[in-house]
Amino acid sequence: MRKPGVLIISHGSRESSWVELVDEAVKQLPLQGDIPVAVSFLEILEGRLIQDGIDALEDQGVTDIVVIPLFVSSGSTHVDEIAYALGAKETADSDTNLDLFRIRANIHYGTPMDDDPVVAQMIWDKVRDLCVEPKQEVILLVGHGSIYEDFRKRWVKKISSLALKVQNISDVIAVDYALLNPDSVRERTEYWQKEHGYQVIVAPLFLSEGYFIRKVIPDRLKGLSYLYTGRAILPHPLLSEWIGNQVHYMLESLKL
């Protein structure tokens, strides 16, 4: 008999509030039946690392682990290296310090948030209160990006698609994007301000608030006039819905 389980993997943080937001989103999962769920983190949280999650599920008799990488983009090297370490792909596309995990169960690796319509709705929900004159405003999505060319291309492909989806459900004149790596945040903000005269609303594309939202993005825009949500995707009830949708789709396709 096959028994499915769910392993949700996020990056991890030293801030307890960061971890609590992820745990709370998972608690609200709309899953059917008694499916074991483990939440693990790539680093920092001893006792809750990826191997701990695998062991906990296998100890409950799980034969098939559906893995949800809770990251905002396929352009993250972490998404790739975790897939490699789980045996979901033969080689990693970038350098990694991760060793192969000890696994007896079958691994079924999902996809990160990318340009899912539910993600677009969450982004719009976070910025809509700042929109006062939509026809004079541009939303600028700001993502982490990557120093690696192949991963940068993955970032651009998904964040540009996400920007279009946010624009389709909003009233603003345009939705653009910028990356921190390589840095284009200031350039894109100045482009819309100086060349078009629009108000720029900066929306960070990060799972939870932290150093990049509080420090890095404001530093890159120092001296410019802009509106800033300063809000990450979490907390948002739709994130639980997104995770649940991914799990349901994978269980159905795998006939588990």
DSSP string, 40-59: EESSS-TTSBHHHHHHHHHH
Q: What is the pLDDT of residue 32?
A: 63
Residue pLDDT, tens place only, 184-199? 999 999 999 999 999 9
Predicted confidence at residue 102, as pLDDT, reads 95
Residue 191: exposure state from Cβ atoms within 10 A (0-12, 13-18, ≥19):
middle
Yes or no: say if 80 and 92 are a contact pair by the CB < 8 Å rule. yes
User: Which residue(s) pair with 106 in the sheet?
Assistant: 64
Of 232, 251, 225, 228, give the one whose Cα is nearest residue 113.
Answer: 232
- Residue-wise pLDDT for 14-67, tens only, equals 667 777 888 888 888 877 678 899 999 887 767 889 999 999 999 999 999 999
- DSSP letter for 102, please: P
Mean pLDDT by 10 residues, the chain (256 residues): 92 74 84 84 82 95 96 95 93 89 95 96 95 94 95 96 96 95 96 94 92 93 94 92 92 84
DSSP state of 222: T
Nearest to 126 by CA among 30, 8, 187, 209: 209
111: closest CA among 66, 143, 156? 66
33/35 Cα distance (integer angstroms)? 6
CA nearest neighbour of 141 among 234, 72, 219: 72
Mean pLDDT of the chain: 92
Domains of the chain in start order, with CATH, are: 4-113+236-254 (3.40.50.1400), 117-228 (3.40.50.1400)
pLDDT recorded at residue 154: 96
What is the pLDDT at residue 209?
A: 82
The pLDDT value recorded for residue 45 is 66
- The predicted pLDDT at position 23 comes to 85
